[in-house]
Amino acid sequence: MKSSFLAIIGTLYGILVYGQEPIDVTEQTIKIESKSEKVMHFAFAECDKIVFNFTEINRKELKEIEILEYPGNSKFMDYKSKKIANKVIETDKNSIYEFRLRNDAVLGRVCKVKIQRIPASEATKKFTTTTKWIEKQDTTWTSFTKDIIIGYDTVYEQKSKKN
């Protein structure tokens, strides 16, 4: 009851302050195994507002929650969190954000995560937030393999012959 009330207040706050309705990027329940982390990547447009909500289902603490502007510019970090409600992060430019949830406990944790974006204008309303890794070879150099001999070895074996 209380969490749904906070979600409604957060949505109304986003509409009143930023003039746009929040768009869901992801809403999922995830299990973070013992001594591991879950990492999610999403793209955001220039001047977007990111709204981050997190709740651990059993009211247990999660060791670390961090939101980074890729590749390593930390925008938000919290330790030993049970709940984070409507954390707003403003983006400076089109960029990818990494959401890292780390569990150092002996038991796994089940968490609800909801990430929304409030677009800066109508033009960025249809901005796609999915990311795709593309590996390309650097074009300024060419890699090759060359076989070389680094030494010789002579082995003498004694053989006997039967007559």
- 160 in a structural domain: no
- The pLDDT value recorded for residue 8 is 53
- 77 in a structural domain: yes
- 118 in a structural domain: yes
Q: Provide the Cα torsion 60, 9, 22, 74; round to 10°.
A: -50
- The pLDDT value recorded for residue 138 is 67
What are 116's two structure tokens? Answer: 């929304």
- The pLDDT value recorded for residue 11 is 52
- The pLDDT value recorded for residue 5 is 54
- 60 in a structural domain: yes
How would you write 59-90 as a 3-class SS string? CCCEEEEEEEECCCEEEEEEEEECEEEEEEEE
- 131 in a structural domain: no
Question: 111 to each of 25, 52, 60, 107, 141, how far by Cα in Å?
Answer: 16, 13, 10, 13, 45
Report the predicted TM-score, pTM, of the whole model to 2 decimal places.
Answer: 0.70
The CATH code of the domain that includes 21 is 2.60.120.380
- 140 in a structural domain: no
Average pLDDT along the chain: 84
Mean pLDDT, the chain cut into blocks of 10 residues (163 residues total) = 53 53 92 93 93 93 92 90 93 93 92 94 89 78 75 78 74
- The pLDDT value recorded for residue 113 is 95
What are 88's two structure tokens? Answer: 């707003």
Q: How many domains does the chain have?
A: 1
- The pLDDT value recorded for residue 3 is 52
- 149 in a structural domain: no
Domain coverage including residue 54: 2-124
- 163 in a structural domain: no
